[in-house]
Amino acid sequence: MEAAAAAAPVGARARWGGWRRWVGPVGPRRSRFLSVPPQAEAPVPAETVRRWLRAEGADPAAPAEEQLGLAWRLLRRAETRLGDLERRRAEEMRDVESYVGHVRNLTEERDAITTEYEKENEQLRLELTRLQLQREAQLKEVEEMLEQEGLSEIAYSNASEQIAYLLVERTTLLEKLEIADQKLNSHSYIDRLCVAQLQCKDEFGHVHQSLEDELQQQHESAQLTGETMNKSYRQELEREQASRARVERDLDEATQRLLMAQEEIRRLTDELDAQRKEQSRIESASWSALQAPESREEGVNEWRESDRTELQKAMEHSNKLDKEILALRARVQALDLERKAFLDLVEQLKEEICEYQKSEKQGLPLPAPAETEEVAASSLQTQGTMDEGRIEGDCVSGKAGSDQEDRYQGSETFHKRCREVIENIEGRNSQLLHKLQKLKQEHEDLVERNEELESILGETQIQTKQEKEQFESEVEGLHRKITSLETELLEMQKNKTEMSGEEQASSGAQEMQEMLESCQETIEKLGNQLGERRQRRKQLASELELLREDLKAEKKVSELLQEREQINKLELKHEDICTDEKTCEEQMAKVVFLEEQIKNLRNEQELLW
């Protein structure tokens, strides 16, 4: 029985493998149909159970417990077999999934390979079209060249036919050249060549004269360009000198204003110190006149300590003002040093420009009129000596070629030197303009700073005047109080003899308490006023800082705008210089072209001889 049960799964597995090949992987929907859930099964009758137990070898007369134990063992055995079958089924399903994944990977690889092949095909098609277009363009160029040369007959024929035609033409031309050489050897043709040579000499003379005129015109134009450049640089120097003088005047005015502001600040600080000392002296005198018992002396000492702290704070504020003044002085000194350095740079630039002008006047590498005359004379001599022999003509032509090369190299070196000098001058001008802009900005900063200090000084003067008036009124009030207290003390002393001691003490204590309360109120008022003034000063300091930040931002914007204007000016100057250089180069190219024409004419003349 067990062997049959064990053999059954093997056959089932074989059947399952054969069925899997045709049907494919079993999904959850198919497994539902294969395994019926236990709720859907009908109840099994007892007779069928007994028969099954008999078939399994159970005794029908055995008790129910033994039959149940046998059934339980059979059930467990069936469950183990079922678990084995499920594990095998899971393994088979895993195999199926791996197979499906492998198939998918193969399909993806196939798709990737097909896409690569398609891309390669597209690239090859594009290359083929490009080659076709290139070949067509080459054919069109060949056709156009043949049509321009008057060979339209073979323009649209094959390449082999075109080559054959050209070879035939070459042979015919060679034959014609041989015939021409034979004719040249004859005497009649030599006479004709002599006549043609005389005509060529006349033509050479006219051409040489025209070349000399063109060289003179080019030399004059070069001199004019140099003069215009010198004039522009002189004008710029004059402008820079004028701006430097303006900056110096503004700096002197700023230093004078700073000195005046420093003197005014010192005077105001001295006045404030004197007023504070006088106030402290008056208060000490008033409190010395109103000395009472030991309990009141403590309040007086506290009041004095508070006054001392306030005085210390005021002194610290004055020290801060002194430090700011010292910083401004240091800034003025630094500006003076920068101004001196700027003056030195301007002088150096003047000297360099003078040296450059002297070097331009002393010797220019451009061909002068004398040099042009020498070249003309040498060319005439070479034309005269050509009649003597071809060997001497070759030597003279070599010398003329070397002179032309020397002149061309000299003109190139002159252009290079001019460009280098112009670039150096432009760099120095840009540096000087940048420094001048910085000095202008610093001068504007100083002017604005002086204006701010003047406004602050005006406000401080008004405040000090108001404080002085308030202090004077308070001092007068204190003097009045002191006189009234002295009179009251005298009256109290007079009435002391008349009144009893207890009544006098009580009335005097009450009056002294009232006086102390009034003095404390005045002290509180003065403290409040001092706090308000300190807050006002703090607000002014914060407003000053904000104004400084705004001024810095405006300065930066103005600097950027000025730099942009300077850059535009320099670009315009550079464009003008480039145009001048281009004109010079064009003229030099014309000269070289004319010299080459002369050389070609001489070579033709030599060949004719």
Higher pLDDT, 133 or 416: 133
Confidence of residue 117 (pLDDT cuts 50, 70, 90): confident
Confidence of residue 28 (pLDDT cuts 50, 70, 90): very low
Q: Which of 138-152, 514-528, 538-552 has the highest mean pLDDT?
A: 138-152
The confidence score (pLDDT) of residue 84 equals 93
Give the separation between CA 140 and CA 191, rounded to whole angstroms. 47
Average confidence (pLDDT) over 419-432: 67
Higher pLDDT, 259 or 70: 70
390 in Cβ contact with 609 (< 8 Å)? yes
The pTM (predicted TM-score) of the whole model is: 0.23
Average confidence (pLDDT) over 124-148: 86
Higher pLDDT, 347 or 398: 347
Average confidence (pLDDT) over 381-388: 44
Give the separation between CA 428 and CA 419, rounded to whole angstroms. 14
Question: What are the pLDDT digits (tens) for 319-337?
Answer: 676 676 677 667 667 766 7
The confidence score (pLDDT) of residue 91 equals 93
Token pair 């004269």: residue: 209
Which amino acid belongs to residue 473?
S
Over 50: is that where the pLDDT of 572 sits? Answer: yes
456 in Cβ contact with 547 (< 8 Å)? no
The confidence score (pLDDT) of residue 87 equals 93
Over 70: is that where the pLDDT of 156 sits? Answer: yes
Tell me how far CA of residue 105 lies from CA of 67, 99, 108, 115, 119, in angstroms: 56, 10, 5, 15, 21
Helical H segments across 363-389, by residue range: 369-385
Nearest to 597 by CA among 214, 220, 217: 214
| Torsion, Cα of 175, 181, 185, 189 (10° steps) | 100
Q: Which of 79-88, 159-168, 580-589 has the highest mean pLDDT?
A: 79-88
Give the separation between CA 237 and CA 233, rounded to whole angstroms. 6
Give the separation between CA 214 and CA 212, rounded to whole angstroms. 5
Over 90: is that where the pLDDT of 82 sits? Answer: yes
Give the separation between CA 591 and CA 583, rounded to whole angstroms. 12
Q: Which of 18-27, 49-58, 585-594 has the highest mean pLDDT?
A: 49-58
The confidence score (pLDDT) of residue 178 equals 78
Give the separation between CA 548 and CA 543, rounded to whole angstroms. 9
Higher pLDDT, 66 or 579: 66
Give the separation between CA 55 and CA 37, rounded to whole angstroms. 26
Question: What are the pLDDT digits (tens) for 410-420?
Answer: 556 656 666 66
444 in Cβ contact with 562 (< 8 Å)? no
The confidence score (pLDDT) of residue 9 equals 40
Identify the DSSP state of 367.
P
Nearest to 337 by CA among 326, 349, 345: 345
Which two tokens mark 528?
Answer: 């409040």
The confidence score (pLDDT) of residue 332 equals 67
Which amino acid belongs to residue 259?
L
The rounded percent of the chain whose pLDDT value lies above 70 is 41
499 in Cβ contact with 303 (< 8 Å)? no
Token pair 């403590």: residue: 298
Confidence of residue 367 (pLDDT cuts 50, 70, 90): very low
Phi, psi for 366 (deg, rounded to 5): -70, 155
Interacting residues of 573 by C-beta distance below 8 A, sequence separation 6+: 232, 426
End-to-end CA distance of the chain: 132
Confidence of residue 88 (pLDDT cuts 50, 70, 90): very high
Relative orientation angle of helices 46-55 and 64-148, to the nearest 10 degrees: 90
Question: 4: buried, middle or exposed (CB in 10 Å: 19+, 13-18, 0-12)?
Answer: exposed
464 in Cβ contact with 272 (< 8 Å)? yes
HEC readout, 182-247 = HHHCCHHHHHHHHHHHHHHHHHHHHHHHHHHHHHHHHHHHHHHHHHHHHHHHHHHHHHHHHHHHHH
The confidence score (pLDDT) of residue 36 equals 42
Give the separation between CA 609 and CA 601, rounded to whole angstroms. 12
Over 50: is that where the pLDDT of 37 sits? Answer: no
Confidence of residue 504 (pLDDT cuts 50, 70, 90): low
Mean per-residue pLDDT over the chain, rounded: 67
Give the separation between CA 302 and CA 291, rounded to whole angstroms. 14
Give the separation between CA 497 and CA 357, rounded to whole angstroms. 111
Give the separation between CA 505 and CA 512, rounded to whole angstroms. 10
Interacting residues of 310 by C-beta distance below 8 A, sequence separation 6+: 530
Question: What are the pLDDT digits (tens) for 460-478?
Answer: 767 777 776 776 677 677 6
Neighbours of 44 (CB within 10 A): 9
The confidence score (pLDDT) of residue 360 equals 59
Average confidence (pLDDT) over 240-255: 68
